[in-house]
Amino acid sequence: MRDDLKNVLTSSSTRIVVLWAEPTYIYLILQYALYSDVLDPHFTWILSSSVSLRFYNNMSIEKSTGILTVEPTAGNVLHAPINTTLLNDAYNIWKHYEPETFPNSTKIDYYALFAFDATWILIQSLNEFCSKNMNSSSSCISFFNSSSCFNRYFFDSYLYFNIINDMTFLGVSGPVQFSSNVTDRIDGSYYIAKNCQYASNKLNFVPVLKYSRRKDFKMKKLAMLNCVSYMSL
């Protein structure tokens, strides 16, 4: 699509582009979109992640107005409860065993917190599964076709999934609870929307809206005047 990005977009009836990609690729695609003149005012771009905007210059600031992001975030960003005890314990273990890889705690990616909670619920569910499924064997877990790691079948998998669905706990990213009918959390889902604004002599993505499953969208008061173009869509 790189060679005909402008033709593809201008020949379409839509004027909203949703770009779901890794930040590295978002940066490259946005840069090419700027050169192809398919940003604001022609199109509104919704990104899955904030990226550096250092390729912009003073002549192209106005083209950044229509760039938005919608990103998942942790509960504490929206002043929702999180398990700070578990989070601090995890940080301390990390700093103890691999201090050279530990960044500042404010620089921990939110996806790392989501992954931690996902792993934690698997561990806690497995612990409960084994407490209900102890037998005379040395392990509480049994498999079909155990000779092949690519074709194994987990005995009592339905019991394990039911335990996961019944489990609720406060994780490092917020409340964690699942259901057999959905693949997302049924609680503890938080998102934040940002738009591109010029501040402190540079372009930045600034939060303008926040969302939780319990409270829906709520506008950030300080950014109200800067997101008129977004709210009018």
Express as a percent the part of the chain with pLDDT over 90. Answer: 30
Q: What is the mean pLDDT of residues 210-216?
A: 72
205 Rama sector, left if φ>0, alpha if ψ -120 to 50, beta otherwise: beta
- Confidence category of residue 93, pLDDT binned at 50, 70, 90: very high
Express as a percent the part of the chain with pLDDT over 70. Answer: 82
- Confidence category of residue 58, pLDDT binned at 50, 70, 90: low
Return the closest-CA partner of residue 86 out of 121, 40, 60. 121
Name which of 60-64, 69-73, 83-87, 208-212 the model is least confident about.
Answer: 60-64
Greater model confidence, 218 or 68: 68
CA distances from 90 to 23, 34, 94, 167 (A): 26, 42, 6, 21
Distance CA 13, CA 44 (A): 13
Contact 205, 195 (CB under 8 A): yes
Q: How confident is the model over 121-166, as pLDDT tens digits?
A: 999 998 998 887 766 555 777 777 666 666 667 777 888 888 988 8
pLDDT of residue 133: 73
pLDDT of residue 222: 40
pLDDT of residue 134: 67
Q: What is the mean pLDDT of residues 106-134?
A: 89
pLDDT of residue 230: 36
pLDDT of residue 95: 93
CA distances from 184 to 29, 83, 119, 172, 188 (A): 28, 20, 15, 17, 10
Give the number of other Cβ atoms within 10 Å of residue 146's Cβ.
Answer: 10
Greater model confidence, 114 or 224: 114
At 56, give phi and psi (nearest 5°).
-75, 155
- Confidence category of residue 57, pLDDT binned at 50, 70, 90: low
Greater model confidence, 48 or 189: 48
Fold observed for domain 2-75+189-231:
Rossmann fold (3.40.50)
Q: Rounded to 10 degrees, what is the CA torsion of 103, 21, 208, 171?
A: -50
- Confidence category of residue 192, pLDDT binned at 50, 70, 90: very high
Name which of 79-88, 122-131, 159-168, 199-208 the model is least confident about.
Answer: 199-208
- Confidence category of residue 117, pLDDT binned at 50, 70, 90: very high
- Confidence category of residue 59, pLDDT binned at 50, 70, 90: low
Give span(s): CATH 3.40.50.2300, the chain.
2-75+189-231
